[in-house]
Each structure stands twice: as C-alpha cells, then as structure tokens.
Amino acid sequence: MKIGVPKEIKNNEFRIGITPDGVQTLISHGHDVCVENNAGVGSGFSNHDYLKVGATIASYSKEVYQYADMIIKVKEPLPEEFDLIQESQLIYTFFHFASSASLTKAMIDRNAVCLAYETITDDQGGLPLLTPMSEVAGRLASQQGAKYLESPQGGLGVLMGGVSGVSPADVMILGGGVVGTQAALVAAGMGADVTIYDINPNRIEELQAIMPKNITTCLSSLSAIEKHLPKAHLVIGAVLVPGAKAPKLITRKQLRIMQKGAVLVDVAVDQGGCFETTKATTHQNPTYVVDDILHYAVANMPGAVPQTSTKALSNVTVDYAVKLANFGWQNACKQFPHLANGLNIVQGKVVHRSVAEVFSLPFVPVKNIL
C-alpha cells in the first residue's frame, strides 16, 4: 500500500503521525511511505532519518495526498486540507467529529474513509490509541494549571503545594479516567489538595484504593461540584463519553460563585468542552477570561511536547497501520472488531452512532458497509 504522512498544520502542532521506526516497520511489510518535507523536524526527526529507513520525501502536502491510499496524521484535517483528500482515501488520525459540524460535513462530502484513533477500543473497554495522548494531556493540565495560577499569568496567585504554615491549592478534577488520573498525580506530586469527581462508582473505588493521601475521590453530581466550586483554585475538565459531545458540568452562572482568578483547564475541549464557557484556544493564545475566571482550552495540548508525544502515539498506532496496509481497511476491520470501532465516516455514510446523533444524521451500522 502507498502511505502518505503530511506535515501537521494546526497552530503550534509539532507532532508527526509516525516515527522513522514506525515507517521502517511498514516498509519491512512491503509498503511504500512518502513523508512531507520536514514534517518530522518538530519531533526531532529529519528528512534524512526517514530517507535512511526507505521513505521518500515530497515537497508539498498535495503530492502526499495525491500519492497515498492511506494518510497517517495526528490531528483532524483542517479546512485548508479538506480539498486535498482524495475520493475513498483512508485517513487514519484523531478526528473528534462531535466537536465540529464542518469537519463532519467535509469528510462526508469528500467520500473519505475516516478511521478515528479516539474511538478504537480494546478488550478492557479502554481507548488504547487515545490513552497515551491523554496521559500527556493530563500531566500537562496540572503543569499549565500551576503556571496560570500565578498572578503575572492572570491567576489568583496560589502556589500548588503551599508552604509550611500555608495551605496548598485546592484542585478539582472532573473525570477520573486517563487524563484525570494523570492530572491528579502531577497536582498531588506538587503538593496540592486534589479531589477527583467521576460518575462511575467502580472507577471511584479503584482510584480510592491506589491514590496518595492528598487525593480524595467523590461520586460526581452537579450539586457536589457546585458545592465545591467556591473553594476551588484550579478545576480540570477531563470527562469523556466516547464519540459524543462532552456534558457541560459548570455553567457560566456558576463562575460567579468561584474565586476571582481561579483557573479552569478544559482538556475535554476536543469533544466540545465540559464547561459552558469553553471555547477552543491555541498554544499561541492559550487563555481567555470570562467573569474573572481564567480559562485554558488548548485542543492539541500534547503538541507542546512533540518529542514525547510523537513517540508515544506512534508506539500505539503502528500496529494497526500495518494491519490496515496488509489487509486493506475493509478486511482489517472485518478481522479486528476493535479497529472497526474506529470507523466514523465511510464514503459519505456516518457509521458511528454518537457522531450521527450529535448532528442528527442518518446512522449506518458498520456491519452494513463491511
């Protein structure tokens, strides 16, 4: 199969869809790989690194899209990339369709085959291709939160760990999955007083058993969250209902009961955000203020640490990339049902129920198209 790897063009996005090691694996299975010029530089990989393992280099993204049967990317295609996508081309990347009607429409119109990393599943009920990026984003969420709590950054001027005789920061984490757990561990490691809220009682039980003493768990409800808000310094949004829009857990009205300069970090922004006042931001302009509350809502947080993130992503995407290339997407999805769960839009049809529901589009079950 001919595989193309374009350069990412999202604001301050320095990741690339696959490392040279991953390319070498694909080539060892008899496939051809074409990488866009300097696409890996931000992640620490030169053109030469890709040439050395047998890839070719294309000068422009247009060449890559025209060449490839399968495109391997990191982030969802942006409007500048929509027209480059070829009829029936397989696009293997993060999409997060529920947060963008225009992306959904464009992919339907392009007749593309959209395999979304974020809805591929595993036997344990997890999302194995989302997990490493969630680990990165979770850890970053507390780092960023700590920074924006500083007064010169617009925050209320509280140190995460406090000091002798002065209480640490109060950190609320909404969602105790991968992002929430990693955010909690970093915040707790900095000495903050952390509470994790989740609606899944089993998850709460698991977390309670393994977390350090300065992390408390709480079964989530809108009233429990509201009660906690007046004393919170930092709130991290980390909920997920796979494929669907994130539920809104903090309303604009509730910002008034919070302390001025408190910080909201909405990691769930890629699924539409879990605060009513969330709007997606970029690494260039990561924050904005609503009613004296500082918001951070960067949709591609792991892009800030590309050397870590590219390797972590490639570690989990290459295996399925090989299967897709060896068998073709239809046969690979027939053989591996967890991979088939990644299919969101296929040649004009929405085959992921949650995406169809968000936009009231007709839903076609995957089995009907395989």
Instruction: Compute the distance between CA of residue 37 and CA of residue 140 in angstroms, rounded to an integer.
Output: 29
Over its C-alpha atoms, the chain yields an Rg (Å, rounded) of: 21
Q: Of the candidates 37, 35, 13, 39, which has an alpha carbon nearest to the alpha carbon of residue 24? A: 35
Catalytic residue among 96, 233, 295, 352: 96
What does DSSP assign to residue 6?
P
Q: According to the binding rule CB under 6 A, does residue 172 interact with ligand NAD? A: no
The helix (run of H) or strand (run of E) holding residue 185 is helix 178-189
Binders of ligand NAD in range 299-318 (CB under 6 A): 299-302
Cβ nearer to ligand NAD, comparing 145 with 175: 175
Q: According to the binding rule CB under 6 A, does residue 269 interact with ligand NAD? A: yes
Q: According to the binding rule CB under 6 A, does residue 176 interact with ligand NAD? A: yes
Please report, to the nearest 10 degrees, the dihedral formed by the alpha carbons of residues 341, 347, 353, 358 taken in order.
130
Q: How far is the CB of 298 from ligand NAD (least distance, A)?
A: 6
Q: Of the candidates 248, 259, 134, 122, which has an alpha carbon nearest to the alpha carbon of residue 184? A: 134
In the set 84, 130, 204, 234, which binds ligand NAD (CB under 6 A)?
Answer: 130
Q: How far is the CB of 99 from ligand NAD (least distance, A)?
A: 9
In the set 241, 291, 348, 365, which binds ligand NAD (CB under 6 A)?
Answer: 241
Spatial neighbors of 253 by CB under 8 A, at least 6 apart, are: none
Cβ nearer to ligand NAD, comparing 20 with 180: 180
Q: How far is the CB of 128 from ligand NAD (least distance, A)?
A: 10
For 50-158, strand residue ranges (E) read 56-58, 70-72, 90-93, 113-116
Inter-residue contact 300 to 275 (CB < 8 Å): no
Residue with tokens 């320095």: 14
Identify which range of 8-16, 65-73, 156-164, 197-205 contacts ligand NAD by CB under 6 A: 197-205
Cβ nearer to ligand NAD, comparing 10 with 323: 10
Cβ nearer to ligand NAD, comparing 89 with 220: 220
Catalytic residue status for 270: yes
Catalytic residue status for 319: no
Residues at the contact surface with ligand NAD, assessed by CB under 6 A: 118, 130, 133-134, 137, 174-180, 197-200, 203, 220, 238-241, 246-247, 249, 267-271, 299-302
